[in-house]
Amino acid sequence: RWMQGDWEGETSVVFKVIMTEKRMEKCNQDVLGYVEEFRDFSKMVLSRLAGLNTAKAELKREVENLLTRLEHAQRDIEYFGSVTDSNACVEVHEGLVEQQLLEEAEEKKRLKLMLNASCDHVLAGIKSLKIVKKTGEKHGSWMKDPGKKHAKIYLLSGSVNNVVLEFSSIMAFMENNQTLKARRVPLPWPWQGTGHAIYQGFLFYHRHGSLNEIIKFNILRRNVAGQMLLPGAGRIPAYQLSPQTKIDLAVDEQGLWALHAEPEIGANIVVTKIEPVSMAVEHSWDTPCSSRDAEAAFMACNTLHVVYNSPSGGSSHIQCLYDVLGAPSAHSSPGLRLPKRQGSHSTVHYNPKEQQLFAWGDGSQILYKLHTEKKV
């Protein structure tokens, strides 16, 4: 019985091994069958792809042939039209050129009337420098309304602030304890940069936190009198060496201007004439003056004057001039240096009534008296 049990056990094991081998053999045969089917499928796919490439090449040739025929037909049509209507075309083209020249002449005439064309002088030099005060703040702006009866001095300290200090005269401004002598004028929103302007009793400034919004603020009544958006402005600094200022507002004999730089024209400066009552853009000019290595600029007699310096601070000089009326600026002296000081400027603003530059440099409030000459 013991031997019979062992034999039955061995027989069972052998049977299981045989069955496993048969299953593995069948599995191998199935795998080989699948591989063969995949090869056939791959051959079929490759064959169809080859057919598609052939069809694609034929279609491409047909399209190219059609395009060639269309080009020939178009040339024939153009030739026929030029033969039949050549005189009419010449007349139309001459008429368009003539109309364009007339429109350009009218635009120049309109601009001259708008700007009054009353400026008969150019900047020829700088007579003197006077450091009026030293408040210590690195960035800021100080100015005087160029109107006939205005004697007050306005101090806007810092590149972001919302309080204007108003002094009754320049003598009051020069006294040591400036805060006691000043009238504080709070603004509804803080300013951005140092490019502010005061004109006809209003403060014009770039609103902090906005891309290109200009606020018109009535200083006497202490309320907002107008707002506008300056197209294209606010994306890059107006001057590379004064990155806090994106829009620089300026005043000259012809009124209110805005200066800014645009990346689309190589970071050159754009001059915009603003109508101060309606707060509307009257005209804009793309100038050849670069904002690179510029620290400030001002308008005087329709002409942009750009002040350049070195990044580390040095001798500031007026290097680029641009007259918006197209008059040559050779009489003005390009490369004119601001005298007797080393450093940099946060702002340089022109006062047309006094023909002086109100500048802010390294914490000091400076006056540059200008020397002008008659235009030739």
Over residues 248-259, the pLDDT tens digits come to 999 999 999 999
Distance set, CA 47 to CA 40, 44, 85, 299 (Å): 11, 5, 57, 76
* pLDDT above 60: residue 81: no
Q: How far is the C-alpha of 235 from the C-alpha of 241, rounded, in Å?
A: 15
Radius of gyration for the alpha carbons in the chain, expressed in angstroms and rounded: 39
State mean pLDDT over 36-54: 76
Q: How far is the C-alpha of 193 from the C-alpha of 233, rounded, in Å?
A: 13
Is residue 135 classed exposed, middle or buried when 0-12, 13-18 and 19+ CB atoms within 10 A define those classes? middle
Q: Do 154 and 289 meet the contact criterion of CB atoms below 8 Å apart? A: no
Q: Which helix (H) or strand (E) holds 117?
A: none
91 confidence band (pLDDT: 50, 70, 90): low
Each residue's pLDDT tens digit, 266-289? 999 999 999 999 999 999 999 999
Q: What confidence score (pLDDT) does residue 279 get? A: 97
State mean pLDDT over 321-337: 71
88 confidence band (pLDDT: 50, 70, 90): very low
Is residue 287 classed exposed, middle or buried when 0-12, 13-18 and 19+ CB atoms within 10 A define those classes? buried
Q: What confidence score (pLDDT) does residue 258 get? A: 98
Q: What is the number of H-type helices and E-type strands within the chain?
A: 3, 20
Q: Do 203 and 154 meet the contact criterion of CB atoms below 8 Å apart? A: yes
Q: How far is the C-alpha of 41 from the C-alpha of 61, rounded, in Å?
A: 30
Q: Give which of 325, 216, 307 is closest to 269, Cα–Cα.
A: 307
Q: Does the pTM of the predicted model rise above 0.75? A: no
Q: How far is the C-alpha of 344 from the C-alpha of 140, rounded, in Å?
A: 12
341 phi and psi angles, rounded to 5 deg: -155, 150
Phi-psi region of 53 (alpha: psi -120 to 50; beta: other; left: phi over 0): alpha
State mean pLDDT over 26-40: 77
* pLDDT above 70: residue 139: yes
* pLDDT above 90: residue 26: no
Owner of token pair 């918006």: 324
Q: How far is the C-alpha of 314 from the C-alpha of 125, rounded, in Å?
A: 19
Q: What confidence score (pLDDT) does residue 288 get? A: 96
* pLDDT above 60: residue 373: yes
89 confidence band (pLDDT: 50, 70, 90): very low
* Stronger pLDDT, 125 or 215, i.e. the higher one: 215
State mean pLDDT over 211-223: 97
Each residue's pLDDT tens digit, 111-124? 666 665 568 788 88
Q: How far is the C-alpha of 252 from the C-alpha of 124, rounded, in Å?
A: 16
Q: What confidence score (pLDDT) does residue 205 get? A: 98
**Percentage of the residues of the chain whose pLDDT score is greater than 90:** 55
Each residue's pLDDT tens digit, 144-201? 999 878 899 999 999 999 999 999 999 999 987 766 779 999 999 999 999 999 999 9
- The DSSP bridge pattern shows strands 317-323 and 336-337 to be antiparallel
Q: Give which of 322, 236, 245 is closest to 286, Cα–Cα.
A: 322
